[in-house]
Structure 1
């Protein structure tokens, strides 16, 4: 799997969500941005577990992604993050990202991987990015696929 292509595909899948009225559009990127335009989703760190099957047939990528919301007021910002972290609904990142699995028998992320799974949410807290504080959380996403490509 090509890590850069997978990062971009995760960000593209996340951009399919629909935020509540008045919030604006979620800015999505496959890389950690220098400056955040909230609300924002980005793919951050990656852990690579090579050779999960013999002959380079399976590698596992674990991406730590972040979602950050501005601080209009504490409650509004946290409601935006809550909607993004929900397991279903129009603003659900889990639902949007896992829709990129494709139909049964199809490759995930437009052919880049065998499967993708949003495993968990962690670190719901205030984040310092640049010189600004945002409320947000991390999502851990597992991607598996052919290690020889």
Structure 2
């Protein structure tokens, strides 16, 4: 599990170096920040431990120093394409058709949705942010 979360963070960092990326929930948030957070696991999607499915809830947090510029920065990272797009970084991490994703850590992954676009509090600091739910499938 830890390797998959780290792989997601590394994939985003490789394509979006302006983001501080973590495969774990950091104690403090160096902004802008992407991290892999909560994990939900569905075991045995196929017989004989053939396939497990994981949903990783990642968070993307940016500064709220200025309401308009903070939300504009968040929007750039949440765009479907472009140099700041987290979605584009995760699509690239899928690899070529027929190849495993995340450098062999899983069979495939898919950014399913963005949710909870709102203010987040970490410690006593407020950030603009959103959750990105990533579906990962692989052998059990």
Where on the TM-score scale, by shorter chain, does this alignment land: which range?
over 0.9
Paired position in structure 1 for 2:48? 55
More off after superposition, 53-62 vs 10-19 = 10-19
Paired position in structure 2 for 1:90? 83
Cα deviation for residue 130 of structure 1 reads 1.1
Paired position in structure 1 for 2:24? 31
Match of 1:77 among 70, 73, 85: 70
Paired position in structure 2 for 1:22? none
Paired position in structure 2 for 1:64? 57
Paired position in structure 2 for 1:126? 119
Q: How far apart, CA to CA, are the structure 2 residues paired with 1:17 and 1:72?
A: 25
Q: Is residue 38 of structure 2 the alignment partner of residue 40 of structure 1? A: no
Gaps of 5+ in 2: none
- CA offsets 1:82-133 (integer angstroms, 9 cap, x no match): 0111111111101101211111111100001000100000000000011100
Q: What is the TM-score when the length of structure 2 is the normalising length?
A: 0.97
Aligned-residue Cα RMSD (Å) equals 1.0
Cα deviation for residue 49 of structure 1 reads 0.2
Runs of 4+ in 1 over 2 A off after TM superposition: 16-19
Paired position in structure 2 for 1:104? 97
Gaps of 5+ in 1: 20-24
Cα deviation for residue 138 of structure 1 reads 0.3
Cα deviation for residue 17 of structure 1 reads 3.5
Match of 2:107 among 105, 114, 132: 114
Q: What is the TM-score when the length of structure 1 is the normalising length?
A: 0.91
- CA offsets 1:70-90 (integer angstroms, 9 cap, x no match): 122001110111011111111
